[in-house]
Structure 1
Amino acid sequence: MQTVVNRIDPEDVLDLRLRAADGRPSDISRARLALRLLGEEPETVEVGELPVDNGRIRADLGGIELRDGTWEVLWIDPDGAEVPVRTSDPGFSLAEREAYIARPRERDLRVLRSPDGRLRVRAAAVKPHAEVQWVDVEATEVRLAGVLAYAALGEGRHEARLVARQRGLSGVSEIPTEVEGAAFDVRMALEPLVEAHDFARKHNEWDLWLAVPALDAELRLASHADDVVGKKNRVRFPRTLLDKGERKVAIRPYYTIYDGLSLLAKDGGTASEGDR
């Protein structure tokens, strides 16, 4: 059996639209599905027998315990044989992912398509973070905008602070801001980072957090909602040069190996070199 549409909605319901092997709409009325964990410790969990409504299956995964990892979706034939479900759908919609992360949750489920076209579900434990959706580098500041992910924050305006911490050193810069609903939009002045810059270090890294008193938490700025893997080597932001005495400091945002958003400050040369 093959799916042409596969999604997981905010209620953790796996929504599948089926096509028979010959490409025609499926005319079956019942289906049995299971999930098989891939890896060194395989495990199979039966989802159960489900109705098929006009070629559509909706399987509630919310109450099923799934270990972190990638699970292959299996179709169980009437004779009990487990057959991997194949799909022509990559299964990703950024708008749907943003709706998904807007709900408080401790486990994230998303559908994947393997290189050979098999349908899979990835399960991962999650905690709230500040999902970055926009980064704009200006001459003396950086604008950061996004939404809170997996956080239980009510409607209205909430006080917050953007906190930049100098990795391995004592530097801290804080910018008052607000979260409206789940959205944040803050401009971060870079001058405090320049003042704290240590030229004796090759790199000065600044990790970014959004402190939200209403949640009694600091949320790491990161980008996890999309399907881009390894942003550190795939996404590059422009730099800006700021003066520190006779020298310059070059600052640019960057993604860490875990897709957290940080700022990298380096020696930008002398003022005369920067003008060349």
Structure 2
Amino acid sequence: MGVPEVKPRAEVEEVWPRDGRIAVVGRLHAVGDGHGPDWRLAVTRRSRPEHVLEYAAEREGDRFRCAWDVADLAAYDDGSTGADQWDLHLTDGTLRLRVGRRLDDIRGKKSIYIYPRQPVPGARAGFGVRPYFTVEDNLSLECRA
């Protein structure tokens, strides 16, 4: 029997929502040597995929870290929806990895990990951003007033 092939992953280890920012720390798994040091976090609006925010991702070896201001997402709030979801991907321009947490053998993180909502001063009344795990254990953001 051979060793099962591991798909490349951007595996979340820590999520830090506080002070109007969200930071994500994790590891790249099974990425290989053919990829450069310049990685970015792409935050894509699920209902309007043409809306993409990009942030630099620091990389040291197989570890990555990125952070952003939640106010950036408020600029896309048009008040027409009750909630909007944004999906996170780590990319170097050739490889695009969904940011999530699957290698810890804990399933159903959506109901286990509950992160605080970050309010956005100056945005629509009560508007805030909250990281959450999807039913597939990927990390996404929920924006709602």
Same fold (TM over 0.5): yes
**Structure 2 residue 141 is the aligned partner of structure 1 residue 263:** yes
Q: 2:52 is matched with which residue?
A: 172
Q: How does 1:1-276 map to 2 (within 5 A)?
A: 61-62=1-2, 107-108=5-6, 127-153=7-33, 158-169=37-48, 170-213=50-93, 216-245=94-123, 247-267=125-145
Instruction: State the identity as a percent.
Output: 29
- Over the aligned positions, Cα root-mean-square deviation in angstroms equals 2.0
Residue 107 of structure 1 aligns with an amino acid whose one-letter code is E
TM-score by length of 2: 0.89
- In the alignment, structure 1 segments of 5+ residues that lack a partner are 1-60, 64-105, 109-126, 268-276
Structure 2 residue identity aligned to 1:161: R
Query: Kindly tell me: are residues 246 and 198 of structure 1, through their superposed partners in 2, closer, same or farther at Cα, counting changes over 3 Å?
Result: closer
Q: Find the residue that maps to 2:37 and give its secondary structure.
A: strand
Cα distance between partner residues in 2 of 1:162 and 1:146:
12
Q: Which amino acid aligns with 2:141?
A: L
Give the Cα–Cα distance (whole angstroms) in 2 for the partners of residues 153 and 237 of structure 1: 34
The CA distance in 1 between the partners of 2:114 and 2:123, in whole Å, is 28
Q: 1:246 to 1:166 in 2, by over 3 A?
A: closer
TM-score by length of 1: 0.49
* 1:134-172 alpha-carbon deviations (Å, 9 max, x no partner): 0001122101000012211369x7011111001011321
CA positional deviation for 1:243: 2.5
**1 or 2 for the larger relative contact order (CA 8 Å, sep ≥6)?**
2
Contact 2:74 2:123 in 1 (8 A): no
Task: Give 1 or 2: higher strand fraction.
Answer: 1
8 A contact 1:163–1:173 mirrored in 2? yes
1:39-94 CA distance string (max 9 Å, x none) = xxxxxxxxxxxxxxxxxxxxxx326xxxxxxxxxxxxxxxxxxxxxxxxxxxxxxx
Q: Which has the larger radius of gyration?
A: 1
CA distance in 2, matches of 1:266, 1:244: 14
Q: For the residues of structure 2 that align with 1:244 and 1:167, how far apart are their CA atoms?
A: 24
Q: Give the count of matched residue pairs.
A: 144
Q: Given the superposition, is the C-alpha separation of residues 149 and 247 from structure 1 closer, same or farther in structure 2, using an over 3 Å criterion?
A: same
Cα displacement (A) at 1:245: 4.3
Q: Once the 2 structures are TM-superposed, how far is the Cα of residue 107 of structure 1 from its aligned partner?
A: 2.6
